[in-house]
Amino acid sequence: MEDIKKKKLFLRTDVEVRLKKLTPFEASQKLRKIEDRLFDFANFMEAKTVLFYLAEIGSVATENILKQLLLLEKTLVLPLFREEKPGVKLFKIETLNRDIIEGSQPEIKIPNASRCKELPVEMIDIAFIPGIVFDEKGNRIGQGLGRYDYLIPRLPLTTRKVALAFEEQVVSQVITDSFDKAVDIIITDQRILYKI
């Protein structure tokens, strides 16, 4: 178990170094290509209720995507994870500037639970799952908190689990343990990978 943690830490660090080598211009060009692929992606365009995430360190920026989702009149859902124990609630977001607030740390944004309507997990048509490292089989390494490993098995079997990633975040193999959950599809700036 300790060996797996060390290998995951090494992969996270390696990918973070790769991402830091990108100039702001290169990163913005790559992000635009990811967005273009996403908005041409049939599973996404057909979906009515979309679970997304607010970008964290090491994951693809989502602010512009979230704005576009609302313009497309899709139901945007964001997760709110409990900090003290595993658990998650899903909230419908209607307006980004009113429905999202600062979390326990200023750099972390969360849905405003007192303002937003909670939705059941069964309503999710497509779920976007953040991560720092991915492989071509859909395995992922996130922040190391296990939040999405808890959420993924609770999603309906028909819900596509999709990740957005820079090509620099894709490695040949991600070391996993029994708790780690994979995604079905990865959209990068260069290609769309389907779980093998």
What are the residue boundaries of the structural domains of the chain, listed by start?
2-191
Over residues 42-69, the mean pLDDT reads 90
Helix, strand, coil fractions of the chain, as percent rounded to 5: 35, 25, 40
Query: How many beta carbons lie within 10 A of that of residue 98, not counting itself?
Result: 11
Between 184 and 81, residue with greater pLDDT: 184
DSSP labels for 106-138?
A: TT-EEE-TTTSEEE-GGG-SEEE---SEEETTS
**Residue 179 DSSP symbol:** T
Tell me how far apart the alpha carbons of residues 134 and 84 are, in angstroms, rounded to a whole number. Answer: 27
Over residues 134-156, the mean pLDDT reads 91
* Superfamily of chain region 2-191: NagB/RpiA/CoA transferase-like (3.40.50.10420)
Q: Which of 19-23, 81-85, 134-138, 161-165 has the lowest mean pLDDT?
A: 81-85
| 64 — pLDDT class (breaks 50, 70, 90) | very high
pLDDT at position 58 over 80: no
Tokens at 185, concatenated: 């599809």
Contact by Cβ (8 Å): 52, 10: no
Query: How many beta carbons lie within 10 A of that of residue 25, not counting itself?
Result: 8
Phi, psi of 143 (to 5 degrees): -75, -10
pLDDT at position 107 over 80: no
Over residues 31-50, the mean pLDDT reads 96
pLDDT at position 109 over 80: yes
Q: Which of 102-111, 132-141, 184-193 has the lowest mean pLDDT?
A: 102-111
Phi, psi of 121 (to 5 degrees): -60, -25
Between 118 and 178, residue with greater pLDDT: 118
Integer-rounded Cα Rg, in Å, for the chain is: 16
pLDDT on residue 108: 78
This model's pTM is above 0.75: yes
pLDDT on residue 106: 66
